[in-house]
A and B are shown apart, each in its own frame.
Chain A
């Protein structure tokens, strides 16, 4: 669907986006992650053909972005506004017309979208009469109208109440079911875990993570077992450290130990295990850990992985390191 290859963009000699490569597959919800100032907005602006890359290539279904198929991409920027002194339906239909729909069809589609987001009764009111939350829903509709094939949403959940967050999630699922591809840029990691298939994280313009969300989580899980057991022998093969956490035991494993071998050893020693789990790190913690590594704040591993390695791993559906 969307392919970004070796894209570089510099300002004043400083690379804001540096050799970033990834692909977004048809019908998936793809997360673009990164701390503030990582280069996400610049990358999105290049994908939407608002900015031109210094080098590299961005293609949508094999053709360079921009030109004749600009209307196939819609973009909901983080900083967004609407024409305030026009009726809601007209403000919306205008975006539809710019995406190549006839005036009447655009108006019909605008009405249908307003009905979907619960704003049908406000269609003829001026935009400035709407509350902030309502305006945000209209802004979302500007990205939906005209049936774009790729939707780029930058922090779409910000400022929405829980009901409207749920509504947005439903709409995203509907669009995905209809074959629309979504590129989602957000700092809300729980939404990425719930909604997204794959993710790319950039930091200081470099790729630092790329792959399927579940693989990233698996790979960044602590190498540890958490279990509730009757007792624990003094020595367990493959276990480096044991600590009690909230009535459970956390067993940090040796790097080469496999969880199944450790569990088998405990059972062989007649330990009664009531429950066990392989520790998982929330995506948010992975984000913080990776960003800190990239900034050199973590004492563990250092330096971002090479772009080539990430692309190879990410394209394979795995993680980047």
Chain B
């Protein structure tokens, strides 16, 4: 393979600049995270608001007590519910207090009438044999997916009312929420135990998720740019005149570097934006990403990109247009993200056979290994990392050689999709 690096650089430079100047690129850099943030807000904020709304509307609980166990029950229920999403920030969590009046009815008929007339919000019927059976009936005009908030409120009232006058108020509170003040201590990197921060627990999940997602996306975005570029150039008959001046290997190398850099630019921009937004929370939760993990992530990105980039280039070269190319590429893009579907298992048991197998299998190795390495309890033996890298590097090299051969021959084939035997023959041809 004779390569003129100056020509490859010229091609890489053009590919990079042309790509990053496109409006679609800017949309990917800024639009994708913005869209994601909007979607998440649209999903989570209404949930929180709806729970608060549910409690605000829960004004009167009607009770028909046939058991007599609740004669001295509390006449009201008081509590609070979080109403904002500030758990990741330094700001204190806002809580909205609520009060529910408890109104007793001698008979169910009268209570039901009051419920229908909306004088009470819900009705709780306590049968005479409640203490023996535990059976209760709750009546409401309607229900929705947030009705569990009401159930928790009613349960708390039942506990407090059952114990009232039998035990002291402190014990009542402890029984109602026995583990409210429990702190978990875990081993820190320095070898001592320290209180486990709930936010830290969240980050223990979010960090591998974010790193794995960035790894998967950066590989896929670079690969997609490659496939799109090759496919468009083939479709618009640009390549033949270029191949007179540069050889297929120079063209391929230039595209790999230029479009890989474009994909990396997107990921870097997302990291910078993410750090600016979540940096204070990360610092507060003492989340640290080790330099060794970052270095390994870079190596896995490079090898993973070469592997998938080679495949995408080959697909672009043997197909006739972008639509055809995308149909073929879907399977490979999916393979890259398969470790995400097994993320709970990988993070829960990063040393399991499944986690090891996925991190050794080249198409899934970059994402799977980054998930394993960034899992909270990860201790990945060096030999597994070395073997995984060696397998990925070897496969990427073979894919690139095959892809260069497909690229050289496929670029000049118009109108007819090659058969599998033809593709294999092109790959074998030197």
Contacts and interface: CB of A to CB of B under 8 A. Distances in A.
- Whether A associates with B in a native complex is yes
Interface of A: 45, 48-50, 66-67, 70-71, 73-77, 79-86, 94-95, 97-100, 139, 142-143, 152
Contacts of B237: 77, 79-81
Q: Could you say which of A45, A49, A83, A98 has the most chain B C-beta atoms within 10 Å of its C-beta?
A: A98
Given A50-B412, A98-B7, A70 B240 contact: no
Interface in B229-274: 233, 236-238, 240-247
Given A80-B240, A143-B241, A98 B11 contact: yes
A45 B244 CA distance: 8
A76 B6 CA distance: 23
Interface of B: 2, 6-7, 10-11, 14, 18, 22, 233, 236-238, 240-247, 412, 414
Contacts of A86: 18
A66 B244 CA distance: 9
A100 B18 CA distance: 20
Contacts of B247: 49, 66, 70
Given A82-B236, A97-B10, A70 B412 contact: no
A74 B238 contact: no
Contacts of A76: 241
A70 B236 contact: no
A1 B7 CA distance: 25
B240 A98 contact: no
Contacts of B236: 81-84
A98 B10 contact: yes
Q: Could you say which of B6, B238, B240, B243 has the most chain A C-beta atoms within 10 Å of its C-beta?
A: B240
A86 B232 CA distance: 14
28 contacts: A45-B240, A49-B244, A50-B243, A50-B412, A70-B244, A73-B244, A74-B241, A75-B240, A75-B241, A76-B241, A77-B240, A79-B240, A79-B414, A80-B237, A80-B238, A81-B237, A81-B238, A82-B236, A83-B18, A83-B238, A84-B236, A85-B18, A85-B22, A98-B11, A98-B245, A98-B246, A99-B245, A100-B6
A12 to B, nearest CB: 10
A178 to B, nearest CB: 20
Given A74-B245, A81-B238, A143-B241, 8 more contacts: A48-B244, A70-B246, A71-B245, A77-B237, A79-B240, A79-B414, A98-B7, A98-B246
A240 to B, nearest CB: 51
A74 B10 contact: no
A99 B233 CA distance: 19
B208 to A, nearest CB: 39
A142 B241 contact: yes
A139 B238 CA distance: 10
Contacts of A94: 10, 14
A289 to B, nearest CB: 32
Contacts of A45: 240, 412
Contacts of B414: 79
A74 B245 CA distance: 7
A257 to B, nearest CB: 50
A146 to B, nearest CB: 8
A61 to B, nearest CB: 17
Contacts of A74: 241, 244-245
B249 to A, nearest CB: 12
Contacts of B14: 94
Contact of B242 (A66, A84, A98): A98
Q: Could you say which of A70, A71, A85 has the most chain B C-beta atoms within 10 Å of its C-beta?
A: A70
A-B pairs, top 5 by smallest CB distance, nearest first, are A75-B244, A81-B236, A81-B237, A48-B244, A77-B240
Contacts of A49: 244, 247
Contacts of A50: 240, 243-244, 412
A99 B124 CA distance: 86
Contacts of A98: 7, 10-11, 242, 245-246
Nearest to A71: B245
Given A45-B412, A86-B18, A98-B246, A67 B240 contact: no
Nearest to B6: A100
Contacts of B242: 95, 98
B245 A82 contact: no
A76 B237 CA distance: 11
B323 to A, nearest CB: 18
A97 B247 CA distance: 14
Nearest to A91: B238
A71 B6 CA distance: 13
A45 to B, nearest CB: 7
B257 to A, nearest CB: 15
Nearest to B2: A67
B232 to A, nearest CB: 9
A138 B62 CA distance: 85
Contacts of A71: 245
A77 B241 contact: yes
Contacts of A70: 244-247
Nearest to B254: A98
B315 to A, nearest CB: 20
A73 B244 CA distance: 7
A285 B244 CA distance: 33
Contacts of A100: 6
A65 B246 CA distance: 12
Q: Could you say which of B2, B14, B237, B244 has the most chain A C-beta atoms within 10 Å of its C-beta?
A: B244
Contacts of B233: 81
Nearest to B251: A98
Contacts of A142: 241
A48 B238 contact: no
A138 to B, nearest CB: 12
A281 B426 CA distance: 45
A82 B238 contact: yes
Contacts of B244: 48-50, 70, 73-75, 152
Nearest to A73: B244
Contacts of B243: 48, 50
Nearest to B239: A81
A118 to B, nearest CB: 21
Contacts of B241: 74-77, 80, 95, 139, 142-143
A45 B411 CA distance: 13
Contacts of A95: 241-242, 245
A74 B238 CA distance: 14
B329 to A, nearest CB: 22
A99 B6 CA distance: 11
A183 to B, nearest CB: 12
A80 B237 CA distance: 5
Contacts of B2: 67
Contacts of B6: 100
Contacts of A143: 241
A79 to B, nearest CB: 5
